A and B are shown apart, each in its own frame.
Chain A
């Protein structure tokens, strides 16, 4: 499976929000802690709805949580 170009700032946002634990974030968006870990490490791309739920937990826009990184020379 091709790697994703989507990166995220969930780890930084958790610490900026009172050092929220992965378990707490998982509980608030309705997934397991393993899934939060996988999202943070870029090993899983969540659905658009879950992505919005994560942004809502941190009360920031979606693109403050997820970024689409295109490097020089990429054609898509």
Chain B
């Protein structure tokens, strides 16, 4: 498996686990209090921080156990990486525009922060899935 495909799989696993844990913590607290009044900032920062640390650790582990051939990037890897990131950018823009719209209508900070966060999560997932699909199904940049 190519190094960039392994990175894409790591990104999917880490993103799903970190965002899943964040949602579990925030939604688990909601009782009679409205969701927008729940404390979320600490859980959000911890989940992002843990995702970054886990991602770095997994990259190191995968690099150590991979054969030498599986550590080198070439033209195809760079092209697929650019393609995947380009696809994923759309959700960053959608998240930012949604956040801007919510700010304009003076929505609660909870919703602004969470819609932007969701944009980043969907961007990471879409970019990674586009990369994996390119490796598995084919990539013809011409």
- Residues of A at the B interface (CB closer than 8 Å) are 1-4, 6, 23, 30-35, 38, 42-47, 50
B101 within 8 A of A: no
B residues less than 8 Å from A31 (CB atoms) = 74-76
CB atoms of A45 and B134 under 8 A apart: no
CB atoms of A3 and B140 under 8 A apart: yes
Residue of A1, A4, A42, A50 with highest tally of chain B CB at under 10 A:
A1
CB atoms of A35 and B140 under 8 A apart: no
Query: What are 12 A-B contacts defined by CB distance under 8 Å?
Result: A1-B134, A1-B140, A30-B74, A32-B73, A35-B76, A35-B77, A38-B138, A43-B138, A44-B138, A45-B141, A45-B142, A46-B75
CB atoms of A43 and B74 under 8 A apart: no
A residues less than 8 Å from B134 (CB atoms) = 1
CB atoms of B138 and A1 under 8 A apart: yes
B46 within 8 A of A: no
**Please, how many angstroms separate the alpha-carbon atoms of A6 and B142 in the complex?**
11
- Residues of B at the A interface (CB closer than 8 Å) are 1-2, 69-70, 72-77, 134-135, 137-142
**Please, how many angstroms separate the alpha-carbon atoms of A31 and B86 in the complex?**
23
**Please, how many angstroms separate the alpha-carbon atoms of A38 and B1 in the complex?**
11
Q: How many A-B residue pairs have CB under 8 A?
A: 55
**Given A35-B74, A35-B76, A38-B76, also A1-B2 (CB < 8 A):** no
CB atoms of B75 and A50 under 8 A apart: yes
A28 to chain B, nearest CB (A): 13
**Please, how many angstroms separate the alpha-carbon atoms of A38 and B134 in the complex?**
11
B residues less than 8 Å from A50 (CB atoms) = 75
A76 to chain B, nearest CB (A): 13
**Please, how many angstroms separate the alpha-carbon atoms of A43 and B141 in the complex?**
11
CB atoms of A2 and B76 under 8 A apart: no
A36 to chain B, nearest CB (A): 10
A residues less than 8 Å from B70 (CB atoms) = 34
CB atoms of B69 and A4 under 8 A apart: no
CB atoms of B2 and A45 under 8 A apart: no
